Structure 1
Amino acid sequence: MNFLAHAWLARGGSDDFLWGNLIADGVKGSDLADWPEEVARGIRHHRRVDAFVDAHPVVSELQRSAPGAQRRYVGIALDLVWDHFVARELGLAACPSPLVRRTYRVLAARRAPARLAVMVPVLVEQDWLCGYADFDFTCRAIAGIGRRLSGPNRLAELVPWLEREHESLGQAFRRLWPEVCGALEVPVQGDVTRP
């Protein structure tokens, strides 16, 4: 799962909890004592979501079906693909939804950890969360991440497979998402943060 899916799953919590979910990939280590309690809780929630998704049989099936040289990178690509389906399936393609506006507000209000500090302002300015509703945009984002990795761009090499498998990826999402929500979604308190 990527920013949009994590925002959806955390939408029932406070802004600190949401921010922790959004920045967790930029936070290293398990010692979260230096973070405010709700931010640390959000970081831990994000990590539980990622562990649940990574261990899910749907993800294992997709990894086995991917081209051999790129299998190691399928998880990275799927994180963004899941955001594509979150945007489409949850009606967030008609942006900006209240959830997207809140997410951008929370991200813009604080400086992201160093590992995300350059990317987060660009994500907000270029409206990536709404962009994920477009599969071509999502594929370009996946290839862009691959350019930042060392060696050949295995993520860009995965794009033709992702395009061919779009329908089966959607079916996989529809199997995975209800289980993720059932196991890990934070209950919404009031309707202020509903998309």
Structure 2
Amino acid sequence: MYMNYLAHAYLSFNDQSLIIGNMIADYVKGKQWQEYDPGIQHGIQLHRAIDTFTDTHPVTLAAREYFQPSCGRYSAVFIDIVYDHFLATDTTIFTDASLAAFSKQTYNTITHHHDILPPVFQQVFRYMRQHDWLYNYQFMDGIYKSFNGIVHRAKFLEATADAPYGVLEKYYEELAAHYRTFFPELVAFVKTYPH
């Protein structure tokens, strides 16, 4: 499952417990989150708050419209990855070198907590690190591979990765503008989120 892992990692602001909680949240079901340390619990709750903020934000809803005709209900997932692409290429946040360093640091943090990761995420993480997803979000080829991963796992999507990729290419500047409007608001939201 390719999600907006880069944004969730970045929005943990170098707090190791938040990084773990933020990265595993989609794989923690029901009340399983209560089995983790308080810091990781907070990361799981923060992840869910980020998702809710993102999914209900007017800018995100507008950005999804580009993908709606070809991708339907999966538009939200593709937008998450598009946001990660624009974050990875955001020169106000990352340089190529700092993105590479941030990715490596995030992988090391997750590896250090490997034993407590949900089993499914352990498998996902193996691929994430092997193929350096966080760093490769900056490249269009990396985005295409992410889209392809979603298409292969999507039960009700009758499209190939070419469909959302074509949308991204066609509306690249418009989607970039949506990101530039949205992301600072998301950062402000996370910084005011209760600790």
Determine the structure 2 residue equivalent to 1:104.
107
Shift in CA distance, 186/39, structure 1 to aligned 2, threshold 3 Å: farther
State whether structure 2 residue 173 is matched by structure 1 residue 172: no
Shift in CA distance, 97/66, structure 1 to aligned 2, threshold 3 Å: closer
- What is the CA distance between 1:79 and its match in structure 2? 1.1
Preserved CA contact (<8 Å) 1:66 1:74: yes
- What is the CA distance between 1:153 and its match in structure 2? 4.8
TM-score by length of 2: 0.86
- What is the CA distance between 1:168 and its match in structure 2? 0.9
> After the TM superposition, which parts of structure 1 deviate over 6 Å for at least 4 consecutive aligned residues?
none
Shift in CA distance, 134/185, structure 1 to aligned 2, threshold 3 Å: farther
Q: Distance in 1 between matches of 2:14 and 2:122?
A: 25
Determine the structure 2 residue equivalent to 1:127.
132
Preserved CA contact (<8 Å) 2:70 2:164: no
Unaligned regions of 5+ residues in structure 2, if any? none
- What is the CA distance between 1:125 and its match in structure 2? 1.7
- Counterpart of 1:170, as a letter, is A
- What is the CA distance between 1:63 and its match in structure 2? 2.2
TM-score by length of 1: 0.86
Unaligned regions of 5+ residues in structure 1, if any? 188-195
- What is the CA distance between 1:31 and its match in structure 2? 5.3
Count of matched residue positions in the alignment of Structure 1 and Structure 2: 186
Q: Share of identical aligned residues, percent?
A: 28
Deviation string, structure 1 residues 23-59 (Cα, Å, up to 9, x no partner):
1111122552211111110000011011000000011
Q: Distance in 1 between matches of 2:149 and 2:120?
A: 16
- What is the CA distance between 1:95 and its match in structure 2? 5.3
- What is the CA distance between 1:141 and its match in structure 2? 1.1
Q: Distance in 2 between matches of 1:119 and 1:74?
A: 22
Q: CA RMSD, aligned part only?
A: 2.1
Determine the structure 1 residue equivalent to 2:40.
39
Higher helix proportion, which one? Answer: 2
User: Structure 1 residues 62-71 or 80-89, which shifts more?
Assistant: 62-71
Preserved CA contact (<8 Å) 2:71 2:159: yes
Preserved CA contact (<8 Å) 1:26 1:116: yes
